[in-house]
Amino acid sequence: MLMIGNPTPDLEVEAFMPDGRFKRLRLGSLLGRWAVLFFYPQDFTFVCPTEIRGYEAFAPRFREADAVLLGASVDSVHVHRAWVEHGLGKVSFPLIGDVTRRLAQAFGVLLEDEGVAARATFILDSQGRVASVTANALEVGRSAAETLRLVQAFQAGGLTACEWHPGDGLLEAWRTVMTHKARHLVVTLALIALVATAPLTANAAQGHYLQRNLITNFRDKYRTRLEPGYRTLRNKRVLNAWGLASRPAGAGGLHQRGGSKLFASWYK
């Protein structure tokens, strides 16, 4: 199955159009517009007509969002026309006839044992890439309203919270950034406390070794989180504020060569 970020296969397909014509369409022509391609198992069934009527009810809303709707099944375009004229009712978007199963195979939704496409929905962005993919068991119909909500959320151009709907505000990115900064601050403070309280002996050289050994173990475990912390600790004023820059090791601080040199020596 195609996943998020995958490009849309540029296939040529045959579709039954809203005006009653048969027309060949190329998926590559959708570039520049958002699109919803939903696969359903078969015409003249039970769950499928409820879904197509559901999407038809929301078709004006999809048009307002400048999103193209496309339905697809393994039926021929002639079967699509017969279904529309004798049971389903008028549909205002193309129904693709995927008799060869090429389209279903290209999107990875062909159920080999059943010989039909899964009940899968792909939202394609204006760059022709998959923005969303969902699939249901054949017995369970999907929600056209939720598909529309997802399209609108993607088009909102920001961070959208759970159950976001048009008119709701977007999440403020700076809060997320501050959360990461707070994490780095905690790691930095933990590192400083670790250095300041490292067990030392009366022998400064041995104490220096114990400090380095303890810090190195901490560094190896949390290296990816320490980058911002180390950048902070290189600032001598921070070390001075904590009284760690010039205290001799025997006094419970860093070696008198200076805290910034010690950190520079092991953070490589």
Give the active site residues: 48
CA-wise closest residue to 74 among 133, 130, 13 = 13
Local structure of 203: helix, strand or coil:
coil
Could you give the CA distance from residue 124 to residue 34 in angstroms, rounded to a whole number? 6
- What the block records as the tokens of 136 is 């249901």
Is residue 73 within 8 Å of 117, Cβ to Cβ?
yes
Could you give the CA distance from residue 68 to residue 59 in angstroms, rounded to a whole number? 9
Helix axes 204-233, 173-196, angle to 10 degrees: 170
Helix axes 47-64, 144-155, angle to 10 degrees: 30
- What the block records as the tokens of 25 is 């369409």
Could you give the CA distance from residue 200 to residue 204 in angstroms, rounded to a whole number? 8
What single-letter DSSP state applies at residue 32?
A: T
Work out the end-to-end distance of the chain between its first and last CA atoms, rounded to an integer number of angstroms: 43
- What the block records as the tokens of 105 is 């195979």
What single-letter DSSP state applies at residue 197?
A: T
